[in-house]
Chains A and B, each alone.
Chain A
């Protein structure tokens, strides 16, 4: 029965993580949930200390610990590689309308706003004095 004490702690930590993901910040609720969960887990471990010790000596426990450690190591290595790749690439905010520095452009880069488009042989755009451009622009948008 005492082993079920692990459940509320685990659930509270998961709830805290999910709350922070939805709230997009580690606010008080998320911190209280995660902190409370960790505390509940600590209490559960203390209450089941003999079982926990046996479990760690058990091949299943060794397998789980081994898996957790190797996964953490892999995530750390991947994080490091990604960090290096990001650091070497763009300082620009992601999704900006210009190619980041240090980025290979497969098609020679995006044209700057207002610049002539390659392959378009029309005359450069000038401000018209004949008609009211605002009116036509609005009607074009409506289309």
Chain B
């Protein structure tokens, strides 16, 4: 446990001396804010139209609960943003150690492969939590505007962290396979984009194989959490991806250690 904490702390510290992490943090916060303000303006306009329709005609085709709709759309957009931001953070987790030659030191130290994998994961996850912190004032702003649902916010944040954790674990595994940072990033993008949109092709048909593929869709798993629905199977799915990613990383690190001894 001590080793895991040391590696995680070192990883977070290394993020904050790297320009990539600051760029990711800045762009993620800026684009999130842009999405948030645009969505609020858009849905408030829609709600005004709906109210006018109701006032003039006595009926309205649609009814909008603005805070809930904004939150749902916002968390879905955040998931999309994370898919682009996280591979930039995970691409160097193991690959960078290889490039600098520090992996040799780690492999010959008394640190176990599991501790290394979990420590790296914990460091990247800690940075994800830091990335999520600037979102909190946005929810506070939303709360000032009227009725809002704290449960939806909590569920959305939980979903974002679970999705991010799964993406980090998979990115960590790809990073452990690659010796080049760029290849690691491209591999992670390829895997995450496939998993994110696998349901769009699978929904075209009703075959058993298509349904099996759709089961792995990150989007379909995450969308319930953005609605405020905390379903056990979605949580278990994301945790399973984390465990699988960490296990495969541990095996790859063991394989590297095995080759060099």
Contact = CB atoms under 8 A, between A and B. Distances in A.
A99 B229 contact: yes
Interface in B193-247: 201-202, 204-205, 207, 209-210, 213-214, 220, 223-224, 227-233, 235-237, 240, 243-244, 247
B229 A103 contact: yes
Interface in B144-193: 146-147, 149, 151-152, 154-155
B149 A20 contact: no
B3 interface: no
A32 B201 CA distance: 23
B64 interface: yes
Nearest to A26: B209
A121 B58 CA distance: 14
B205 A126 contact: no
Decide if the interface of chain A is mainly helix, strand, loop or mixed.
loop
B13 interface: no
Interface in A91-143: 94-95, 99-100, 102-108, 110-111, 116-120, 122-123, 125-128, 130-131, 133, 136-137, 140, 143
Contact of B57 (A74, A85, A90, A136): A136
A103 B57 contact: no
Given A89-B233, A106-B230, A67 B255 contact: yes
B200 to A, nearest CB: 11
A120 B65 contact: yes
A93 to B, nearest CB: 10
Given A25-B210, A63-B255, A119-B147, A127 B248 contact: no
A107 B57 contact: no
Interface residues of B, number: 52
A47 B104 CA distance: 38
Contacts of A95: 220, 223
A64 to B, nearest CB: 8
Contacts of A4: none
A111 B202 CA distance: 29
A122 B51 contact: yes
B136 interface: no
A75 B57 contact: no
A88 B231 CA distance: 10
Contacts, number: 134
Contact of A25 (B205, B227, B243, B247): B205
A104 B57 contact: no
Interface in B52-81: 53-54, 56-61, 63-65, 68
Given A24-B213, A59-B258, 19 more contacts: A20-B209, A24-B204, A24-B207, A25-B209, A78-B243, A85-B233, A88-B233, A90-B233, A103-B230, A103-B232, A104-B231, A106-B149, A106-B151, A106-B155, A117-B65, A118-B65, A119-B147, A122-B54, A123-B54
Interface of B: 49, 51, 53-54, 56-61, 63-65, 68, 146-147, 149, 151-152, 154-155, 201-202, 204-205, 207, 209-210, 213-214, 220, 223-224, 227-233, 235-237, 240, 243-244, 247-248, 251, 254-255, 258
25 contacts: A20-B209, A22-B201, A59-B258, A60-B258, A82-B233, A85-B236, A88-B232, A89-B231, A89-B233, A94-B214, A103-B224, A104-B230, A105-B228, A106-B149, A106-B154, A106-B228, A108-B151, A117-B64, A119-B147, A120-B63, A125-B59, A128-B58, A130-B58, A133-B57, A143-B49
Interface of A: 20-22, 24-26, 59-60, 63, 67, 70-71, 74-75, 78, 81-82, 85-86, 88-90, 94-95, 99-100, 102-108, 110-111, 116-120, 122-123, 125-128, 130-131, 133, 136-137, 140, 143
